[in-house]
């Protein structure tokens, strides 16, 4: 709502020199009161207990009294056991502080109010997490690649940091952080921060993130992890049994960084390492600074799915360096990043490859638009979503990308590249709103090349549910060819043996399978399987596409393979289409529920939520 009002005011005075509108004082998905008392630094001291599935210890928050009269610090928490709260004046001793934990809200968690004297400089909270904390996933040894040691990882975006750290859990607030993490012997802790290679004498791993970051980028993983360098700034952490394959797959990361720096300015985070997670990681990747978390499902041996790495790396500019100030501005993170990803992929692997990825992204967009509520089809909503996870879809990614492509075409690539570089430089280590972006756009492009873009057109991109007619839609000759061949195959003019699919890239296969018309027959699917051995493919992405197609065609003989797949995967993008296809018939839904009951313990809490929404009959989302 706030963005829309600012947008209106801004457009009304669009001829004046643009001063960027201020950031909002508070944010609808957080109880924090940074306009009164703001957290300036976070220091964690936690022990990891796999047996009891909990983190316990302290967080020290350095605070600033923005409003000198304010006497209560408000923090976000979700299902934390708060044992003790203390405050400390400069050079003073820790003193017990009064605190009040409010009744929990289903989405936001519990507000923690802490009484702070006017001279308090720091607040210490002693706490522990609960075994089913929404931001933590605890894996048994059986759920890992190596099967010998347990594994823990965090996923803080969007509002899950509060389930493992009491803090101001909003992207409005940025702070540097330090941490000491005590792990059981033989296990290594890694975080989105500078790391030391060895634990200290007490068995604690030490970390420091000197740059101010939003809370959703604080990340931790603990497991049987080994490291392999892949370049001067890059390397891979993975379980030992995965390490060599992962390092081979992601060997070209340093080159991608260099390409990004050429256009968007220096990489400002020091190292860029990747952490390969177990299959239950719910996303493709998570752009935790200095240490992207990545799904093992993109390790195929042929480096064909590395655009995922380009995406996570691009977040080092769009998202991590310049951050959406509220979750209603999510497209500023993901639309920009998707645009940068396509540019990087194109620069590194050629126009034809980039075009294929763009077309597949556009198909994802159409699919999401069809499923989403009308309010979620535009880039900014009239009112904030109740739960950011619930409205997660391709729309902020792909529609945001199309918006930026459209702007690029209006102003020319050279001018638009310079504009983006300026946006990143001028807002580095800051959070930004859509209204601020529009003010900057007005100042740096629209005012300098007047008459090319109107306020009505910008509104159509940002606020109107349908895609603007002027959108520049991607095309790919490699994919058009596949569509034509599929058409001839479906109508019987081309035999299955004549399909030239042996040489298809994974993207061509994805298009062939994902947008298959409903008239495909079970017999045709069987012929495909007999020739190309799609059931049981080791490529997890194609495995999901193929099984979804069989399930959608009503092929009950696919149920056992679907069950095996759903028990072994955890990435939401791969599992939700299968649950959705099964849920279309009462019998399929009953089967899906049975499978889910078995699979759920291996899924991340965020993925469980998403699947449960499908099984309840809600179709929106991932
Ligand atoms: Zn992203």
Q: What is the pLDDT of residues 573-589, one digit of tens each?
A: 999 999 999 999 999 99
The predicted pLDDT at position 404 comes to 98
pLDDT in tens, 67-114: 999 999 999 999 999 999 999 999 899 999 999 999 999 999 999 999
Long-range contacts of 439-445 (CB under 8 A, 24+ apart): 439/10, 439/18, 439/19, 439/20, 439/21, 440/18, 440/20, 441/407, 442/10, 442/14, 442/18, 443/17, 443/18, 444/419, 445/407, 445/411, 445/415, 445/416, 445/419
Question: What sign does the CA torsion over 58, 76, 429, 421 have?
Answer: positive
Q: Stretch 412-425: mean pLDDT, rounded?
A: 98
Ligand 1 centre distance from Cα of residue 337 (Å): 6
Position 19 pLDDT exceeds 70:
yes
Ligand 1 centre distance from Cα of residue 229 (Å): 24
Q: Round to whole Å and give the CA distance between 603 and 600.
A: 5
Q: Stretch 50-76: mean pLDDT, rounded?
A: 98
Ligand 1 centre distance from Cα of residue 233 (Å): 21
- Residue 615 near residue 579 (C-beta atoms within 8 A): yes
Could you say which of 27, 249, 312, 401 is catalytic? 312
Ligand 1 centre distance from Cα of residue 397 (Å): 8
Comparing CA positions, the residue from 57, 44, 123, 64 lying closest to residue 88 is 123
Ligand 1 centre distance from Cα of residue 70 (Å): 37
pLDDT in tens, 372-418: 999 899 999 888 999 999 888 999 999 999 999 999 999 999 999 99
Q: Round to whole Å and give the CA distance between 248 and 296.
A: 13
Position 11 pLDDT exceeds 90:
no
Question: What sign does the CA torsion over 220, 221, 225, 229 have?
Answer: negative
Q: Round to whole Å and give the CA distance between 80 and 164.
A: 7
Q: Round to whole Å and give the CA distance between 229 and 250.
A: 10
Ligand 1 centre distance from Cα of residue 341 (Å): 10
Identify the band that residue 2 occupies on the pLDDT scale cut at 50, 70 and 90.
very low
Contacts of 86 (CB under 8 A, 6+ apart): 94, 95, 96, 97, 123, 124, 126
Q: CB within 5 A of ion ligand 1: which residues?
A: 334, 337
Ligand 1 centre distance from Cα of residue 556 (Å): 35
Mean pLDDT of all residues belonging to the chain: 94
Identify the band that residue 619 occupies on the pLDDT scale cut at 50, 70 and 90.
low
The predicted pLDDT at position 383 comes to 87
Give the distance, in angstroms, between the CA of residue 416 and the centroid of all CA atoms in the same chain.
25
The predicted pLDDT at position 381 comes to 86
The predicted pLDDT at position 622 comes to 55
Ligand 1 centre distance from Cα of residue 283 (Å): 10
The predicted pLDDT at position 7 comes to 39
Contacts of 472 (CB under 8 A, 6+ apart): 402, 405, 406, 409
Q: Round to whole Å and give the CA distance between 93 and 117.
A: 13
Identify the band that residue 13 occupies on the pLDDT scale cut at 50, 70 and 90.
very low
Position 621 pLDDT exceeds 90:
no
Ligand 1 centre distance from Cα of residue 186 (Å): 32
Ligand 1 centre distance from Cα of residue 281 (Å): 15
Identify the band that residue 304 occupies on the pLDDT scale cut at 50, 70 and 90.
confident
Position 123 pLDDT exceeds 90:
yes
Please state the φ and ψ torsions of residue 554, each to the nearest 5 degrees: 80, 25
Q: Is 402 helix (H, G, I), strand (E, B) or coil?
A: helix
Position 441 pLDDT exceeds 60:
yes
Torsion angle, CA of 327/332/336/337, rounded to 10 degrees?
-30
The predicted pLDDT at position 18 comes to 54
Question: What sign does the CA torsion over 388, 389, 390, 392 have?
Answer: positive
Ligand 1 centre distance from Cα of residue 588 (Å): 32
Could you say which of 397, 440, 565, 603 is catalytic? 397
- Residue 478 near residue 356 (C-beta atoms within 8 A): yes
Long-range contacts of 516-522 (CB under 8 A, 24+ apart): 516/486, 516/549, 517/490, 518/552, 518/553, 519/490, 520/490, 520/549, 520/553, 521/553, 522/553, 522/554, 522/555
Q: Let me know if 606 is exposed, middle or buried by CB neighbors in 10 A (0-12, 13-18, 19+).
A: buried
Comparing CA positions, the residue from 404, 545, 406, 527 lying closest to residue 471 is 406
Structure tokens at 386: 């109740």
397 tagged catalytic: yes
Ligand 1 centre distance from Cα of residue 314 (Å): 8
Ligand 1 centre distance from Cα of residue 531 (Å): 36
Ligand 1 centre distance from Cα of residue 389 (Å): 14
Q: Stretch 522-535: mean pLDDT, rounded?
A: 96
Identify the band that residue 620 occupies on the pLDDT scale cut at 50, 70 and 90.
low
Position 4 pLDDT exceeds 70:
no
Position 341 pLDDT exceeds 50:
yes
Position 48 pLDDT exceeds 50:
yes
Write the CA distances from 446 to 14, 208, 239, 415, 458, integer angstroms. Answer: 9, 41, 50, 11, 11
Identify the band that residue 36 occupies on the pLDDT scale cut at 50, 70 and 90.
very high
Ligand 1 centre distance from Cα of residue 335 (Å): 8
- Residue 545 near residue 513 (C-beta atoms within 8 A): yes
Q: Round to whole Å and give the CA distance between 527 and 488.
A: 15
pLDDT in tens, 234-292: 999 999 999 999 999 999 999 999 999 999 999 999 999 999 999 989 999 999 999 99
Q: Give the rounded percent of residues in the chain with a pLDDT score beyond 90.
A: 91
Structure tokens at 113: 């109010």
253-264 and 330-349 are packed helices; what angle lies between their axes, rounded to 10 degrees? 110
Q: Stretch 169-179: mean pLDDT, rounded?
A: 98
Q: Give the rounded percent of residues in the chain with a pLDDT score beyond 70.
A: 96
Strand partners, 208: 178, 194
609 tagged catalytic: no
- Residue 293 near residue 359 (C-beta atoms within 8 A): no
């Amino acid at each position: 709502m706030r963005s829309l009002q600012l947008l209106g005011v801004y457009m009304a005075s669009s001829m004046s020199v643009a001063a960027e509108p201020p950031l909002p004082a508070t944010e609808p998905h957080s109880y924090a009161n940074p306009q009164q008392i703001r957290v300036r630094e976070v220091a964690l001291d936690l022990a990891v207990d796999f047996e009891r599935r909990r983190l316990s210890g302290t967080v020290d928050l350095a605070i600033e009294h923005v409003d000198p009269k304010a006497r209560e610090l408000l923090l976000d928490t979700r299902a934390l056991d708060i044992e003790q709260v203390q405050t400390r004046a400069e050079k003073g001793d820790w003193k017990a502080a009064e605190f009040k934990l409010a009744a929990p809200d289903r989405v936001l968690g519990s507000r923690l109010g802490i009484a702070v004297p006017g001279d308090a400089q720091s607040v210490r909270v002693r706490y522990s997490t609960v075994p089913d904390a929404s931001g933590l996933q605890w894996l048994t040894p059986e759920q890992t690649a190596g099967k010998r040691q347990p594994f823990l990882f965090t996923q803080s975006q969007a509002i899950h940091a509060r389930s493992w750290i009491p803090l101001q859990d909003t992207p409005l607030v940025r702070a540097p952080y330090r941490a000491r993490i005590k792990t059981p012997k033989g296990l290594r802790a890694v975080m989105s921060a500078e790391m030391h290679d060895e634990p200290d004498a007490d068995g604690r791993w030490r970390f420091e993130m000197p740059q101010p970051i939003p809370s959703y980028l604080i990340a931790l993983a603990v497991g049987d992890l080994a490291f392999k360098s892949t370049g001067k700034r890059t390397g891979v952490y993975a379980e030992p049994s995965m390490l060599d394959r992962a390092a081979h797959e992601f060997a070209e990361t340093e080159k991608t960084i260099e390409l990004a720096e050429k256009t968007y300015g220096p990489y400002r985070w020091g190292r860029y390492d990747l952490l390969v997670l177990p299959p239950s990681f719910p996303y493709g990747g998570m752009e935790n600074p200095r240490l992207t978390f990545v799904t093992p499902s993109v390790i195929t041996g042929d480096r064909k799915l590395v655009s995922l790495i380009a995406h996570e790396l691009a977040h080092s500019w769009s998202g991590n360096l310049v951050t959406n100030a509220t979750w209603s501005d999510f497209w500023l993170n993901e639309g920009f990043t998707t645009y940068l990803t396509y540019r990087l992929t194109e620069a590194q692997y050629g126009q034809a490859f980039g075009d294929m990825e763009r077309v597949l992204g556009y198909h994802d967009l159409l699919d999401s638009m069809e499923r989403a509520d009308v309010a979620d089809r535009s880039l900014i909503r009239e009112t904030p979503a109740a739960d950011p996870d619930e409205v997660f879809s391709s729309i902020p990614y792909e529609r945001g990308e199309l918006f930026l492509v459209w702007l690029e075409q209006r102003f020319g690539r050279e001018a638009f590249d310079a504009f983006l570089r300026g946006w990143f430089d001028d807002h580095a280590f800051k959070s930004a709103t859509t209204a601020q972006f529009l003010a900057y756009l007005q100042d740096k492009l629209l005012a300098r090349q007047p008459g090319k873009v109107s306020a009505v057109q910008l509104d159509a991109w940002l606020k109107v549910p349908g895609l603007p007619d002027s959108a520049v839609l991607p095309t790919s000759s490699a994919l058009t060819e596949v569509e034509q061949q599929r058409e001839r195959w479906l109508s019987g003019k081309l035999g299955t043996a004549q399909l030239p699919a042996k040489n298809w890239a994974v993207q061509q296969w994805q298009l062939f399978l994902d947008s298959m018309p409903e008239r495909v027959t079970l017999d045709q699917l069987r012929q495909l399987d007999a020739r190309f051995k799609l059931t049981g493919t080791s490529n997890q992405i194609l495995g999901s596409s193929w099984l979804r197609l069989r399930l959608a065609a009503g092929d009950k003989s696919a149920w056992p393979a679907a069950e095996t797949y759903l028990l072994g995967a955890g990435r939401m993008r791969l599992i939700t289409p299968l649950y959705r296809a099964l849920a279309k018939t009462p019998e399929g839904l009953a089967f899906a529920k049975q499978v889910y009951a078995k699979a759920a313990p291996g899924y991340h809490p965020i993925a469980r939520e998403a699947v449960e929404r499908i099984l309840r009959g809600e179709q929106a989302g991932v």
